[in-house]
Structure 1
Amino acid sequence: MIRHDYAHPLRIDEASHQVARADYPRHVSQLVKQLLLTSPGERVCLPEFGCGLRRLVFAPQSDALQATVRLQVQQSIARWLRDQVELLDVEVVLGATPGSGIDEGAMLVTVSYSLVETRTPDSVTVEVR
């Protein structure tokens, strides 16, 4: 069975004039990005939804920050997306890391996961500023 879900952000497809759709792997990737980039309190109907990474951008960049980000991502995915993905790894690279190529004060978060329905591995990388 080929599964299609609504694309994020919600929009009308120009060709079909219907709500745009995304295939299952792309839809789950969009859900992970949405979770990572949403701060708790942003959504009216789901005030606890989100990861809260943007508020950590201004924290002193250290090993403790990396561990905190990793833990917040793991907990958020376990709470909100456990029926969609099986978390494999969370990698956090801080801008203060020499040779990272990231602006100081920013962080790069890579989430590696396996899709629950198809067992195929995938990953999402977001830069948080």
Structure 2
Amino acid sequence: MTHFAFPYAIAPDGSTRSADEDRHIVHLIEQILFTRRGERRNRPDFGAGIHEMVFSENAPEIAAAARNMVQASLQQWLSPRIEVRAVAAEARENLLAITVQYRRTDEENLRSVTLEHAL
């Protein structure tokens, strides 16, 4: 099955750009991680809430809280599609790198994706 690409784009042939199931799941994870809570009018609780932690101190306790927030949010919104196995967060200069290890519910293969966001 193919899905719309994220962000939405037009392919060279004039059709809507598409994404396969694996890429679509990565796009969904990206949307959850980088959508601010309250940003979506009809889903004010959508998002992982990591933007609220931008000005928090860089301490192990804060990193653990961020990992828990991300994992809970991914489980809430994507549990029919993926099983989250691990989440790691790392702040490097002005970038936040979040690595999510997951398994698609229709497969046994473990997958990993690292997404970066400028702070």
Q: What is the TM-score with the length of structure 1 in the denominator?
A: 0.84
Q: What amino acid sits opposite 2:79 in the alignment?
A: R
Alignment match, 2:50: 53
Q: Is the 8 A contact 1:29 1:123 kept in 2?
A: no
Q: Which has the higher contact order (CA 8 A, sep 6+)?
A: 1
| Greater Rg by CA | 1
- Secondary structure at the aligned position of 2:101 is classed as strand
- Identity of paired residues, percent? 31
Alignment match, 1:91: 88
- Secondary structure at the aligned position of 1:18 is classed as coil
- CA shift digits 1:63-119 (9 cap, x unpaired): 11111101101110111010111111111223xxxxxxx20x643211110111233
Q: Distance in 2 between matches of 1:57 and 1:124?
A: 21
Equivalent residue for 1:74, pick from 49, 57, 71:
71
Q: Distance in 2 between matches of 1:109 and 1:26?
A: 17
Alignment match, 2:18: 21
Alignment match, 1:98: none
Q: Distance in 1 between matches of 2:19 and 2:97?
A: 25
Q: Distance in 1 between matches of 2:9 and 2:70?
A: 28
- Secondary structure at the aligned position of 2:63 is classed as helix
Q: Is the 8 A contact 1:92 1:108 kept in 2?
A: yes
Gaps of at least 5 residues in structure 1 are 95-101
Alignment match, 2:111: 122
Q: Using a 3 Å threshold, how does the CA distance of structure 1 residues 27 and 21 change in structure 2: closer, same or farther?
A: same
Q: Using a 3 Å threshold, how does the CA distance of structure 1 residues 68 and 6 change in structure 2: closer, same or farther?
A: same
Structure 1 residue 45: Cα displacement = 2.2
Gaps of at least 5 residues in structure 2 are none
Q: What amino acid sits opposite 1:10 in the alignment?
A: Y
